[in-house]
Amino acid sequence: MSPDLPLRSCADELASRTDARLVELLVRRPDLASPPPRGTGVLAQRSLAAASIALAGEDLDLLAVAVVEAFVDAAGGSHHHGLLGPVSREDIVSKLGRRALRSDVDTRLSLLSDLALIWPSGSSTGKRTTSWLAGIHLPSALPWRAPHLLAPIATREPDEISAQLDGLDERQRELLTTLSRGPALGRSRDAAPDAAPSAPVPRLLAAGLLARVDEQTVELPPQVGQILRGEPPLTTSLKAPGLGGTSSRFDAAAVDAAGAGEALEVLRHVGNLLDALAEAPAAVLRAGGMGVRELRRLAKTTGLTATRVGLLVELSDAARLIDAGVPDSVDVLSADEVFAPTTSSDTWLHMEPGRRWAHLAQCWLDLLRRPWQIGDTDRDGAIIAALAPHAFDGSATLVRRTILAPLAEIDPAVPVSVESLTALLGWRHPRQLRRLTTRVVGETLREATELGLVAHGSLTTVGRALLAADPDDDDRADLVRTMSAALPEPIDYFLVQADFTVTVPGPLTPELAARLALVADLESGGAASVYRVTEDGIRRALDTGRTAAELAALFAEHSRTPVPQSLSYLIDDVARKHGQLRVGVASSFVRCDDAATLTAVLRSDAAADLSLRALAPTVAVSGAPLRDVIDRLRAAGFAPAGEDSSGTLIDLRSRGVRVPGRTRRPPRPAGRGRIGDGQAATVVNRMRTADRAERPVSSAASSDSGETTSALIHLALQTGRLLRIGYVDAHGGASRHVVKARSLAAGQLVAAEEPSDDDLRFALHRITRVELL
């Protein structure tokens, strides 16, 4: 097509599309629909804007980027009425050569056309488009400024590029390293074609290790920057790399079982974290967040790593299990805010495991921070704390979904290496090369593995269900069922050993787990847990009102192995001594049926510390609190039990600190706004109505005669035909509307503008033109 002939505009192309194709365009480019454009002409103007084209470029893979580069290069920078082209299909294919299949190029051309980045010029051979047009801002869709995929460096192997870098002198290497660590663009007077060839920049340009953007700007090719940063270089073969890296393949059941084991562990660890914070809340930093020192303290208390605790803290905060607030416990006399469990954490702890797991997994996927960055330094050199306000990252959710998406596309139980996944993500999202690094991908997969969403390098069944779940579904019933089914069935038995250890070969029922945890201490968790029965554990159970017979029955009923006689002796021995002394609230009293025992207490050092005073041979009183009296007497070797005024034993277990949970907005997944098909269809209907309103007026339309206007409106009321009216509002603004007349009275036309059913009122004297449609 000759440039002198009229070129088809983007507005004409969009107006000729079907409603279904326009809906698809708005769903893919939701920024075009906000606010709803008045007609396809306005839609075309928006679609050609540089900012909108840059947003559309986020979804282009490397081959689509190469097609755009080839299109811009084939257009040669010639602009005709603000358009690039026409560019033929053969021009693009010849630019790319044998690096891409023709069928793949045609697919990308169709994609770019569907996105309204290019459109047919009108020239075609049969049903196939042979030439295309684009707006002058099409280069905004590229992730870089220079045509790196058409340059000679795109055909070089990584080893060849590395060899070139090794042969550079110190100044050239320093220049490239600076560009690799910061923005890839650099300004230099030596970028001009007539610059001295001996300068570092011209030499790098000649070697292809830099690309010229203009006479004062150069750009570092992405492959060079990745090699300098130690990242896998971008695959520029224009063929999507495959996932893999390991030849072995796991059984799907084994993958799900491993994920379920990690899920049980994360639930147990969150419970331990809540207990630790209830006993000793964490201080809030002056700048907000929880410091690294507190994380290390919690790691020592829970027996976990600081990295693991950082992840659990972030998850617990997102799930509203912990929060910063003033404690509501008399044990903590402080007006300062601390991080402690919320009142809602008790409800969460009593939920079924599948629901608790689903809640944590969804919170991680929608988390607007990156827990793995805790302990790193930011740009200012400050250490990143957990829950720090400045660590907010609005793109974290989108990045997680982007990293996990390829794993959901391959067969289950196929392991994927971090390197191959990083290479594929770089090919699919070339704009995100600086963001989707090996470390980001590896740390994201590690966190997903610790949550049971990934196991053995592949997505588990629950991981696939989480990614497929509707983010707007607050109930998550399907996800909860999937996660509950993935967990092993609870068991109601254990194995008691002669060394007082209790082996649990699976998850216990909640009731039995609580009873066992009361009398035994956990030594190792996992799919098979190991507990140990100690004197302190037995005494802890007796403090809650259990008897020796009840503890013996617990082991006799649920142990699959014979209960060792030594364990029965231990329970009886601790129970015989337990409760001989009775400490009550008076502020406090000590009661003992054995006068000799009380005499021994009064002669001990604890009596002086507690200011014990004998009231009778079997009763003494103290001014110290009940809890302090019991702890001091136990430290002195006695075994007191607490009782109230009626003589009933008191549960001495600490209830822990609680803070009221703050009312916070639920986390919103980050990313560009999206609209559904229904919303897009409504916008398309409005555009069609606006297009009809802007069509040329026929000669039969009324203009100045009020009588003719009223007559046409009455005719429309009788026949049900649509009206196209011209209207001038009170501010002098002129507009056109396609309406369905409802009534005409008191000098006003009541009508509904398509596609809405809402009534609008038009003053009859302000209607400038009426036309029957």
Give the pLDDT mean for 379-407.
Answer: 89
Rounded CA separation 371/292 (Å): 12
- Kindly state the percentage of the chain with pLDDT values over 90: 35
pLDDT at 98: 85
Closest Cα to residue 58, out of 399, 340, 567, 550? 399
Which residues on neighbouring strands pair with residue 589, listed in sequence order?
A: 584, 621
Give the pLDDT mean for 590-594.
Answer: 84
Rounded CA separation 37/66 (Å): 31
Packing angle of the helix pair 461-468, 252-279 (nearest 10 deg): 70
Is residue 647 included in any domain, yes or no?
A: no
**Long-range contacts at 323-330 (CB < 8 A, ≥ 24 apart):** 323/659, 323/660, 323/661, 323/662, 324/284, 324/387, 324/659, 325/659, 325/660, 325/662, 326/659, 327/281, 327/657, 327/658, 327/659, 328/657, 328/658, 328/659, 328/660, 329/655, 329/656, 329/657, 329/658
**What is each CA distance from 97 to 101, 142, 397, 545, in whole angstroms?**
9, 20, 38, 83
Judged against a pLDDT cut of 60, whether residue 54 lies above it is answered with yes
Is residue 355 included in any domain, yes or no?
A: yes
Strand 613-616 relative to strand 759-763, pairing: unpaired
Total domains in the chain come to 6
Same domain? For 178 and 129 the reply is no
pLDDT at 1: 42
CATH code: domain of residue 22: 1.10.10
Judged against a pLDDT cut of 80, whether residue 702 lies above it is answered with no
Same domain? For 194 and 259 the reply is no
Q: Specify the DSSP class assigned to residue 475.
A: S
For 143-194, the pLDDT digits (tens) are 999 999 998 898 888 899 999 999 999 999 999 999 998 889 999 888 888 8
Judged against a pLDDT cut of 60, whether residue 701 lies above it is answered with no
**Ranges 109-118, 119-128, 590-599, 624-633: which has the least confidence:** 119-128
Q: Which stretch of DSSP H or E encloses residue 356?
A: helix 353-365
For 514-550, the pLDDT digits (tens) are 889 889 988 887 767 899 999 988 988 888 888 889 9
| 391 residue type, one letter | A
Q: What are phi and psi of 383, to 5 degrees?
A: -75, 135
Rounded CA separation 543/634 (Å): 13
226-248 in b/e form (b: 16+ CB < 10 A) is bbbeebbbbbbebeebebeeeee
Same domain? For 119 and 25 the reply is yes
655-684 in b/e form (b: 16+ CB < 10 A) is ebbbbebeeeeeeebbeeeebeeebbbbbb
pLDDT at 448: 96
pLDDT at 248: 60
CA dihedral 421, 427, 430, 432 (to 10 degrees): -10
**Ranges 246-260, 360-374, 573-587: which has the least confidence:** 573-587
**Long-range contacts at 246-250 (CB < 8 A, ≥ 24 apart):** 246/415, 246/417, 246/457, 248/415, 249/413, 249/414, 249/415, 250/413, 250/415, 250/456, 250/458
Looking at per-residue pLDDT, the higher value among 358 and 380 belongs to 358
Measured on CA atoms in the order 48, 49, 50, 54, is the torsion positive or negative?
Answer: negative
Tokens found for residue 279: 């006993």
Same domain? For 538 and 452 the reply is no
Q: Specify the DSSP class assigned to residue 729.
A: -
Among 437, 469, 486, where does a domain finish?
486
Judged against a pLDDT cut of 60, whether residue 334 lies above it is answered with no
**Ranges 20-34, 342-356, 735-749: which has the least confidence:** 735-749
DSSP, residue by residue, 505-537: SSPBPHHHHHHHHHHEEEEE-SSSEEEEE-HHH
Same domain? For 334 and 289 the reply is yes
Is residue 670 included in any domain, yes or no?
A: no
pLDDT at 77: 62
Same domain? For 192 and 264 the reply is no
Closest Cα to residue 734, out of 697, 682, 685, 759? 697
Match 């947003």 to its residue by tokens.
55
Same domain? For 55 and 130 the reply is yes
Same domain? For 481 and 499 the reply is no
Same domain? For 299 and 429 the reply is yes
The average confidence (pLDDT) of the chain is 85
- Confidence band, pLDDT 50/70/90 cuts, at residue 745: confident
- Confidence band, pLDDT 50/70/90 cuts, at residue 330: very low
> How many Cα atoms sit within 13 Å of 307 on the Cβ side?
7
Q: How far is CA 68 from the centre of its chain?
A: 31
Q: Specify the DSSP class assigned to residue 630.
A: H
CA dihedral 267, 269, 272, 278 (to 10 degrees): -80
Looking at per-residue pLDDT, the higher value among 578 and 384 belongs to 384
Strand order in the sheet with 520-524: 495-496, 501-504, 529-533, 520-524
- Confidence band, pLDDT 50/70/90 cuts, at residue 666: very low
Judged against a pLDDT cut of 60, whether residue 583 lies above it is answered with yes
- Confidence band, pLDDT 50/70/90 cuts, at residue 427: very high
Is residue 348 included in any domain, yes or no?
A: yes
**Contact assessment for residue 404 and residue 467, using Cβ atoms and an 8 Å cutoff:** yes
Is residue 1 included in any domain, yes or no?
A: no
Is residue 411 included in any domain, yes or no?
A: yes
Is residue 690 included in any domain, yes or no?
A: no
For 213-224, the pLDDT digits (tens) are 988 899 999 999
- Confidence band, pLDDT 50/70/90 cuts, at residue 333: very low
Rounded CA separation 153/160 (Å): 10
CATH code: domain of residue 740: 2.30.30.100
Rounded CA separation 492/514 (Å): 12
Rounded CA separation 97/396 (Å): 38
Q: Is 727 helix (H, G, I), strand (E, B) or coil?
A: strand
Give the pLDDT mean for 78-100.
Answer: 84
**Contact assessment for residue 516 and residue 508, using Cβ atoms and an 8 Å cutoff:** yes
Q: Specify the DSSP class assigned to residue 369.
A: S
Judged against a pLDDT cut of 60, whether residue 17 lies above it is answered with yes
| 336 residue type, one letter | D
Model pTM? 0.78
**Contact assessment for residue 592 and residue 639, using Cβ atoms and an 8 Å cutoff:** no
Domain containing 634 equals 580-638
Among 76, 106, 141, where does a domain finish?
141
Among 141, 171, 205, where does a domain finish?
141
| 453 residue type, one letter | L
195, burial (CB in 10 Å: exposed 0-12, middle 13-18, buried 19+): middle
Same domain? For 404 and 316 the reply is yes
Q: What are phi and psi of 4, to 5 degrees?
A: -75, -20
Is residue 238 included in any domain, yes or no?
A: no
Give the pLDDT mean for 316-329.
Answer: 85
| Residues contacting residue 605 through CB under 8 Å, at least 6 positions apart | 636
Cis amide prior to 430 (ω within 30 degrees): no
Same domain? For 268 and 350 the reply is yes
Same domain? For 291 and 419 the reply is yes
**Ranges 18-22, 113-117, 476-480: which has the least confidence:** 476-480
Give the pLDDT mean for 74-102.
Answer: 84
